[in-house]
Each structure stands twice: as C-alpha cells, then as structure tokens.
Chains A and B, each alone.
Chain A
Amino acid sequence: AQTVTQSQPEMSVQEAETVTLSCTYDTSESDYYLFWYKQPPSRQMILVIRQEAYKQQNATENRFSVNFQKAAKSFSLKISDSQLGDAAMYFCAYLRGSQGNLIFGKGTKLSVKP
C-alpha cells in the first residue's frame, strides 16, 4: 500500500527566509502525481504545487518549488522569502495514476516569525 510520511510535525521560519518541508512516500507504481496542499486557519485546502512523476523537471510556482527525487521517493517543498501568510498546515499527498485516491501525509505545521 502507498504511504506518505512527513517527518516534521512542526517547523518555524523567520519572515523573508527560506524553509524546506520534507516528504517521503512509498510506492511500487511508476505513474503517479504528488501534491503539496496548504491549510491555513480558515481550514480551506489550497493546492500549492503539483508534480507529475514522469517529469524530471522540478515544479515551481512563484516562491514555492519542489525537490523531486524519484529514486529516493522524496518530494520536499521549498518556500522562499517566507511571508506571514505562509503560516499554515502543509500536507504532502500522493495520487496513484487516475484512480482518484489521494493519500495524505499527517502534515507539517509551519509558523512564520516576524
């Protein structure tokens, strides 16, 4: 069975600095997608970034980028120039092919210090 592990329950970063959130996953599939979702205190689930496993290039969305290491089954999220609004729970998620089953990690709570 596929699993997603986020080993950092909580992280803290100074405003304007860079932070990296870790995620590893376990799968025997070759075709899959990986996601990072942000959940602010409003509890809304917001898609931050998506990576297709067949793409070697790491995905980037403005200040958010990933380091996707397929062989190591690692999918970390880097947030550059951290802002107060980045404070939230961050969930890493795995999607197997097109079966529609998103498997989530347990989350990392990110605090941003002014």
Chain B
Amino acid sequence: EAQVTQNPRYLITVTGKKLTVTCSQNMNHEYMSWYRQDPGLGLRQIYYSMNVEVTDKGDVPEGYKVSRKEKRNFPLILESPSPNQTSLYFCASSLNGYGYTFGSGTRLTVV
C-alpha cells in the first residue's frame, strides 16, 4: 500500500531532550515536507526537500533540523525541544510537487 509513515504517533517529552520524528514513504517520491498544525493557525511548513541531499527552510524552521540522505526517509530532529514546539506534526510527500500525500501525524507534547 502506498503510504507515508510517521513515527511515533504520540510523544511526550521534557524540555531540552533531543528527539527525532521519523518519516518514510514507499512511493519513490522526490518531494517531502514537514508541517506543524496549531489551533487557529492551520498548517505551516517547517522544512521541505526536493531531492536527496536537497533541503530548504519553510516558514517556521527555527528549532528544527532535517536530513535527506535517502529518498524514502525525511526525519525531523528537535535538538532541544521547548514547550512552544508542542504541536501536531505532519510529514508529506509528492512525486512532482503538485499533489501531496500526508502521513497520519505525530502529536508532540513538550513539558
């Protein structure tokens, strides 16, 4: 089944403890993106990647890192999480940038 898989689905962590949210797609898509969703703000792009080793900042990149060493994987790294990064996170992928498939989301709580 074609899909975007994010893990974990739920995560509670403490301020400052490094964490990684994984994202993997099995559709051989070129484009991958990370979004965060906050109430009343919609979804905002954190980082995106147009191919292996090619990444760029979205609208809200502060406090996040990404890497794209393989086409299928695009992990999101929070080096030192803070409470304002408590949010719902989505990974998405696209073959050509024109239509995205989203993962099921990761609910992150930083206390």
- Chain A residues in contact with chain B, CB under 8 A? 4, 33, 35, 43-45, 47, 50, 91, 93, 95, 97-107
Contacts of A35 in B (CB 8 A): 99
| Interface: B12 (CB within 8 A) | no
Pick the residue among A43, A47, A97 that contacts B105 (CB under 8 A). Answer: A43
Instruction: List residues of chain B with CB within 8 A of the CB of A100.
Output: 31, 33, 48, 50, 94, 97
Contacts of B43 in A (CB 8 A): 45, 91, 93, 102, 104
Q: How many residues of B contact A (CB 8 A)?
A: 24
| Interface residue B90 (Cβ < 8 Å from any Cβ of A) | yes
Instruction: Name 12 extra pairs, CB < 8 A, besides A98-B97, A102-B35, A103-B45.
Output: A33-B98, A44-B104, A45-B43, A45-B92, A47-B99, A50-B98, A91-B43, A95-B97, A100-B48, A100-B97, A104-B44, A106-B40
Residues of B within 8 Å of A91, CB to CB, are 42-43
Pairs A–B under 8 Å by Cβ, sample size 26: A33-B98, A33-B99, A43-B105, A44-B105, A45-B90, A47-B99, A47-B100, A50-B98, A50-B99, A91-B43, A97-B97, A98-B97, A98-B98, A99-B97, A100-B48, A100-B50, A100-B97, A101-B45, A102-B33, A102-B45, A102-B100, A103-B45, A104-B35, A104-B44, A106-B40, A106-B42
B residues 31-82 near A (Cβ < 8 Å) are 31, 33, 35, 40-45, 48, 50, 58
Main secondary structure of the interface of B (DSSP, over half): strand
Would you give the shortest CB distance from A55 to chain B, in whole angstroms? 13
